[in-house]
Structure 1
Amino acid sequence: MLNRLLSFLVSLTALISTFLLASCSEQPLRLGVTTTLEDSGLLDRLTTDFANEHGIAITPIVAGSGQLFTLIARGDVDIAISHEPEGEKRLVEQDIVSSRQALFHNDFVIVGSKEDPANVSEATSTRDAFMRLINSDSLYISRNDNSGTHRMEQYWWPSLPTPQLLPSSAPQPASIKLLLTGTGMGETLTVAANKDAYTLVDIGTWLAFNNKQQLRVLWRDSQTLRNAYHLLTISPNHITPTDQKQKESRIFSQWIHQWTAKNLQKKSSTDTPEERAQLNDIPFFID
């Protein structure tokens, strides 16, 4: 009897060990996302809700869009969410990304001190707002990290530098009026708040930011400063995923579209970003 019991326990131990090894053989789904999704708080909501509904663990890999594209090309993520349209389209053209699907959007806004020395709040258009910054001696803080936010800055301010090296750990003065952080949106916003300077920020990060100090939203235009996010599915022709990763990526893709339809709202063209955010605790919207 004792021998049979010992034999059963040995077999049970071996079975459990085999199960645990099989469970650990597949790593969590690697979701590449931009820093704005993390700073706004949306990333935590997505990963928590997905894990609760499907029991699939996610490892978020957070980077600016430019760095995220490098990670995608290297095969370091399984699926991604980005907000830099031109870079996304290039990945599709190169067959690195097989599918680019619209998810949600919000707006960029220009923030600065309430004194507003460049009179950005009196601008008549987004181009006028940036011209006021360009022509003033007021300090402007740029992420300078090839992110979607940085690309939007460069569209309106073409002479802004493009980083050639990895971002520095410390803000770099590019001129008397420019400070380049090379960091994410939250860190850049902190520098702007500490220096009473101007910067461009997505409304999601702005609303979640708790250290605004003297900063105020001085310019917004949802048409010209639209911040659109897309789901990027990695092409199997570029990096061959395991069957499990293909399945999990497909499940996440289907799930996130259902989640956005259920949890996000369409926005009114007349409401301010703050008013729109009060309709829902998530400052992202669908068309």
Structure 2
Amino acid sequence: MKKLLSTLFSSILIAATLASPIALAQEKSIVVSSTTSTEQSGLFGYILPIFKMKSGIDVKVVAVGTGQALDIGRRGDADVVFVHDKPAEEIFVKEGYSTKRYEVMYNDFILIGPKSDPAKIGGGKDIQAAFQKISAAQAPFISRGDKSGTNAAELRYWKDAGIAVTPNQSWYKETGSGMGPALNTASAMNGYILADRGTWLSFKNRGDLVILVQGDPKLFNQYGVMLVNPAKFPNVKKVEGQAFIDWLISKGGQDVIASYKIDGEQLFFPNAGK
């Protein structure tokens, strides 16, 4: 009996020893705090399995508004931050929460609204003029109101249009939600909304919503990625996090990003190092 137990124990020990390198490889992972548009557009679902296959590193995404994603980085609760508000990202680096920001890709914002278009903005290319008309018509406008990159851009456009918006205005509605839920609200209310093109292309519940304004250079939407500073937060997985960043900005990673399409339309355009 003792001999049998000894043999059994030895077999388990050998199996565990042989399995441990595989188990350790499977345990390699990083946390990326990112904007909702990278997830809700389907981009992460497309590129992350490819990265994991090449690197063995699992990427766990926390998808929130850009402001919240940066705050997660400021607390040291993420290894990498991948967002789209360049001024806020530059402040993040200046404050020492990262040592370098890398540009990865871009797309654009678009102004969505109902086909009936009560503010008569359809076909225009001037985002400020469109916002002025929406305000004048007091047509329903849905704002994310979540300190996201899209919300920050929207507020800049209102300011540049010379209009002060507040949640107290009956026509201006803040949802405090991600892009997908905010689009659902706009669809239900037949309201206007600023959206990133990537999430719009993957959005199914469009109702009577259509693209009304696009093509203004001000609608350019740049994405950047940063490693959270390991000098501030020793728990940051520097090697694995930098490996993810290096892949995103490499030719291979950039080609994968460019290859992501919906109905033949490219959602994001790589521009690392340009």
TM-score by structure 1 length?
0.83
**In structure 1, what is the Cα distance between the partners aligned to 2:216 and 2:263?**
17
- Partner residue in 2 for 1:71: 72
- Secondary structure of the corresponding residue to residue 135 of structure 1: helix
Measure how far apart 1:105 and its partner are: 0.5
**In structure 1, what is the Cα distance between the partners aligned to 2:196 and 2:92?**
24
Kept after mapping to 1: 8 A contact 2:201/2:262: no
- Partner residue in 1 for 2:226: 232
Quick check: 218-227 or 96-105, which moved more? 218-227
Kept after mapping to 2: 8 A contact 1:174/1:180: no
Q: Do structure 1's residue 286 and structure 2's residue 270 form an aligned pair?
A: yes
Counterpart of 1:152, as a letter, is A
Kept after mapping to 1: 8 A contact 2:84/2:149: yes
Kept after mapping to 2: 8 A contact 1:42/1:282: no
Cα distance, 1:281–1:56 mapped onto 2, change above 3 Å: farther
- Partner residue in 1 for 2:212: 218
Measure how far apart 1:98 and its partner are: 1.3
- Secondary structure of the corresponding residue to residue 192 of structure 1: helix
- Partner residue in 1 for 2:105: 104
**In structure 2, what is the Cα distance between the partners aligned to 1:25 and 1:209?**
33
Q: Do structure 1's residue 205 and structure 2's residue 205 form an aligned pair?
A: no
Paired residues for 1:26-175 under 5 Å: 28-123=29-124, 125-158=126-159, 159-161=164-166, 174-175=168-169
Measure how far apart 1:8 and its partner are: 4.1
Kept after mapping to 2: 8 A contact 1:265/1:280: no
- Secondary structure of the corresponding residue to residue 89 of structure 1: helix
Q: 1:251 aligns with which of 243, 247, 251?
A: 243
Paired residues for 1:4-19 under 5 Å: 6-14=5-13, 16-17=15-16, 19=20
Cα distance, 1:94–1:238 mapped onto 2, change above 3 Å: same
Number of residue pairs aligned between Structure 1 and Structure 2: 264
Kept after mapping to 1: 8 A contact 2:28/2:56: no
- Partner residue in 2 for 1:181: 175
Kept after mapping to 1: 8 A contact 2:33/2:81: yes
**In structure 2, what is the Cα distance between the partners aligned to 1:132 and 1:10?**
77
- Partner residue in 1 for 2:254: 261
- Secondary structure of the corresponding residue to residue 157 of structure 1: helix
Gaps of 5+ in 1: 162-172, 267-275
**In structure 2, what is the Cα distance between the partners aligned to 1:246 and 1:11?**
37
Gaps of 5+ in 2: none
Identity %: 29
Runs of 4+ in 1 over 6 A off after TM superposition: none
**In structure 1, what is the Cα distance between the partners aligned to 2:261 and 2:131?**
25
Measure how far apart 1:16 and its partner are: 4.8
TM-score by structure 2 length?
0.87
